């Protein structure tokens, strides 16, 4: 079984909508690792991330019948995770609002893959990513680790694609400064 197999995940969601518990178990086995990784990056606490993961899976079970197939199933469940993280952070009052710049990013300004490839120090990269704001860290994680498109990230964040591009631009600039000129 493969988490990138949208057909399989969609079939499991259909079976979950009919109340089939084995489908939930199979769905969980496929998506729990990327969903947990996404939540942990935002929560920064393993216990909180595990709690949110359980809430996400419960919501996926309850809402499986609402999945319309307009996005990939993994995008849909990460969208649920995004909302659960926000709810959890609001409860803790740790969530900071971020002003979004309206400037359009220069697509040639920073080659992120070159910066990361040249950094060579995984610990330094990890520390630099942790310094990003929550929104910037989420965009970097979804784009580089989950390999989602800007439109899929925009759907999860419920933000315009232009806002996602702007956040990525600023995240890249911050990472470049943190990693130093290479």
Express each pLDDT in 138-181 by its tens digit: 898 888 887 888 988 998 888 899 999 999 999 888 888 887 74
Q: Which domains does the chain have, with CATH numbers?
A: 6-92 (1.10.1740.10), 112-179 (1.10.10.10)
Across 13-26, average pLDDT: 93
Per-residue pLDDT for 96 more than 50?
A: no
Are 130 and 41 in contact, with CB atoms under 8 Å apart? no
180 against 134, higher pLDDT: 134
91 against 99, higher pLDDT: 91
- Tell which residue, 179, 61, 69, 59, has the closest CA to residue 127: 179
- Tell which residue, 4, 13, 40, 11, has the closest CA to residue 137: 40
Positive/negative CA dihedral, 111, 37, 155, 90: negative
Across 96-115, average pLDDT: 49
Instruction: For residue 2, name the pLDDT band (cuts at 50, 70, 90).
Output: low
17 against 111, higher pLDDT: 17
What pLDDT, on a 0 to 100 scale, did the predictor assign at position 126?
77
Contacts 24+ apart (CB under 8 A), 17-24: 17/64, 17/65, 17/67, 24/57, 24/60, 24/61
Cα angle value 26/78/39 (rounded, 5°): 100
101 against 122, higher pLDDT: 122
What pLDDT, on a 0 to 100 scale, did the predictor assign at position 173?
87
């Amino acid at each position: 079984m493969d988490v990138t197999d949208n057909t399989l995940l969609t079939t499991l969601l259909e079976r979950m909508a009919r109340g089939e518990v084995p489908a939930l178990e199979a769905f969980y086995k496929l998506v729990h690792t990327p969903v947990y990784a996404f939540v942990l990056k935002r929560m920064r606490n393993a216990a909180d991330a595990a709690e949110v993961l359980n809430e996400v899976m419960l919501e996926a079970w309850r809402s499986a019948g609402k999945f319309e197939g307009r996005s990939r199933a993994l995008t849909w469940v990460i969208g649920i995770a995004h909302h659960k993280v926000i709810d959890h952070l609001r409860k803790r009052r740790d969530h900071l609002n971020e002003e979004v710049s309206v400037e359009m990013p220069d697509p040639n300004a920073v080659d992120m893959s070159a910066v990361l490839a040249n950094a060579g120090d995984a610990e330094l990269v990890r520390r630099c990513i942790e310094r990003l704001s929550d929104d910037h860290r989420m965009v970097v994680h979804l784009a580089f680790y989950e390999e989602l498109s800007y439109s899929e990230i925009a759907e999860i964040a419920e933000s315009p694609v232009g806002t996602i591009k702007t956040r990525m631009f600023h995240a890249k600039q911050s990472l470049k400064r943190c990693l130093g000129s290479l």
